[in-house]
Chain A
Amino acid sequence: MKVTVDEDKCCGAGQCVLLAPDVFDQREDDGIVVLLDAAPPEELHAAVREAAAVCPAAAIDVDENA
């Protein structure tokens, strides 16, 4: 799995961090997403898929085939 984020779309909601804190964080100053792990381990895949779905800015992309 390969995860990418679009900082320009991100609205700083932090919903991704609530669901997968090992994969996403937010910048202190403006709350924009920080990708901690672009190739997360299998046990986190379900949480990452849910974070991508819930992200209210549609800023997270998950490539399942990578």
Chain B
Amino acid sequence: MSVPSGVVVVGASAAGLATAEALRRKGYRGEVSVVGAEPHLPYDRPPLSKQVLSGAWDPKRARLRTEETLAALRAEFVLGDPAVALDAGSRTVRTASGRVLGGDAVVVATGLRPRTLPGQDGLSGVHVLRTLDDALALRGELKESVRVVVVGEGVLGAEIAATARGLGAEVTMAGPQPAPLAAQLGPMVAELLADLHAERGVALRLGAGVTGLTGQDGRVTGVRLGTGEVLPADVVVVAIGAEPATGWLAGSGLRVADGVVCDSRCRAADGVYAAGDVARWEHATLGSLRLENRTNAVEQALAVADNILGAERHYTPVPYFWTDQFDAKIHVFGLPSATAEVSVVEGDPAGRRFVALYREDGRATGVLGWNMPKQARLHRQELVAAVTPAV
């Protein structure tokens, strides 16, 4: 394909912004429009469950760029006006207000939307956490001795529980796994996380599914477990995962199967690409993947920008995410799993400073650092050979 004369990016967050910036850095001079559902200028999500929720940061600090930097990009930002349809064949995007944007390349970077519990929408006091507005609404309710039940024992649930506890709330974490992040990181690390949360005063009600909510006069009063028990709550946070925001792609001609399905170059159709949490692509060595993490949003956007400009680049990253819970800073490279064999290669779990290596069938598949970021990054090298395709 020749260099496009116009690029339309849908989604004005980490991946969308990174695509527009990368195009300019690589010298692209055509038109760039960035369409965003939210009214806000691009901001960062990881601080929402950490510094923004705790109040340590003014929300403005989570902005990804200053207005001046954005102006220098020479991109048209269409904000507060979600895309409602795409025609992949003609590469035309239509927005809720009726605007029609066409380009010879379109990038889908619409991220995720949180899952909810049945009956959640009609009740006040029930929150999800995906956007800045979500974070501010939840923060407004987190006060000392408020009873908070966090439904979900994944990364997001565990971070919210830790931050809410730090604000003095009485926090209970509920979910079907035996310990926080057990499915993702395996029993050894999950048990350490459970110990950490329990020590800091988070009540763990794990190992039982949540079936619904109880309420009175339109306000939530509790969370009902599969066992029939009700956990009383003033505030409930539902963090049970999220789904790719692909509803607007119905009838687009793109294939959607838990994400926008792309080839190894992040291409969903001729001239149509996807990047970030919404994108499912063929990783040359790891197979079909969709990653929900901050680094992937940018790295994938860089690959997409290269490919829009004709590079034919296969996208083969070493996955990476981090999470902060109380004083634990955990960095994870590769794809650890609950079934992998785990060995400590540096430090000591008892001292809460260590690096663990995950192996499956004798091959290194993941590296996890607990309060040892630099050392974990050095061990990442052990994954590179396994992940990088042979040329």
Contact = CB atoms under 8 A, between A and B. Distances in A.
A28 B302 contact: no
B40 interface: no
Given A13-B320, A53-B18, A56-B294, A31 B372 contact: yes
A46 B369 CA distance: 29
The secondary-structure label for the interface of chain A is loop
Interface residues of B, number: 26
Contacts of B313: none
A13 B21 CA distance: 21
Given A54-B295, A54-B299, A12 B373 contact: yes
Nearest to B324: A11
Nearest to B65: A58
B331 interface: yes
B347 to A, nearest CB: 12
A43 interface: no
Contacts of B191: none
Contact of B329 (A12, A15, A56): A12
B46 interface: yes
Contact of B46 (A12, A26, A57): A57
Interface in A40-66: 49-50, 53-54, 56-58
A27 B374 contact: yes
B302 A53 contact: yes
B377 interface: yes
B377 A18 contact: yes
Nearest to A46: B25
Interface of B: 18, 21-22, 25, 44, 46, 61, 64, 293-295, 298-299, 302, 320, 322, 324, 329, 331, 369, 371-374, 377, 380
